[in-house]
């Protein structure tokens, strides 16, 4: 699943080589990806426990967020995902929970807290909060209804 999401990420982020037919396929799959993210976003919070650093569900959720961020960076998919029910609320709630989890334990979600001395920890959840903020920002871009919700 992670490899498939990484392949989708590469294809979605390369805006020059995506045909209109491929873009329509991405729009149709955007709903599925958004639902998967909504269902699995809590799995990332398990990564605060050191034993779960390689939790596959959490890694899949991180990749789902990356793909959703790229999809919402593209105007043809942005409007569709802005109107998707519950996606914005899920992203905001997940951001709140990751912020709280970072305060209660070692904060693995931000790069500034992932540095110990001179060495940097390459944890898969580093940057998760910034990607959530990017998704929230993209979902609110030129959308007064979503801006008012946030």
Dump the DSSP string for 56-85: HHHHHHHHHHHHHHHHHTSHHHHHHHHTST
pLDDT at res. 118:
46
Compute and round to an integer the Cα radius of gyration of the chain: 16
Per mean pLDDT, which range of 8-22, 35-49, 78-92, 128-142 is the poorest?
Answer: 8-22
Please check whether residue 138 is in contact with residue 80, taking contact to mean a CB–CB distance below 8 angstroms: no
pLDDT at 114: 47
Q: What is the pLDDT, as a whole number, of residue 47?
A: 73
pLDDT of residue 119: 46
Chain-wide mean pLDDT for the chain? 81
Lowest mean pLDDT among 5-14, 47-56, 70-79, 99-108: 47-56
User: Can you give the residue ranges of every domain in the chain?
Assistant: 1-148
What confidence tier does 54 reach under pLDDT thresholds 50, 70, 90?
A: low
DSSP 107: -
Q: Is the pLDDT of residue 149 over 70?
A: yes
* Average pLDDT over every residue of 91-103: 86
């Amino acid at each position: 699943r992670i490899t498939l999401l990484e392949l989708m990420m590469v294809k979605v982020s390369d805006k020059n080589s995506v045909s209109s037919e491929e873009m329509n396929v991405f729009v149709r799959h955007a709903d599925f990806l958004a639902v998967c993210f909504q269902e699995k976003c809590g799995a990332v919070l398990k990564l605060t426990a050191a034993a779960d650093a390689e939790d596959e569900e959490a890694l899949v959720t991180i990749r789902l967020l990356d793909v959703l961020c790229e999809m919402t960076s593209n105007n043809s998919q942005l409007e569709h995902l802005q109107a998707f029910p519950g996606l914005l609320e899920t992203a905001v709630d997940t951001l709140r929970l990751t912020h709280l989890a970072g305060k209660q334990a070692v904060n693995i979600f931000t790069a500034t807290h992932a540095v110990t001395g001179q060495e940097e920890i390459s944890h898969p959840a580093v940057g998760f909060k910034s990607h959530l903020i990017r998704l929230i920002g993209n979902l609110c871009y030129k959308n007064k209804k979503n801006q008012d919700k946030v």
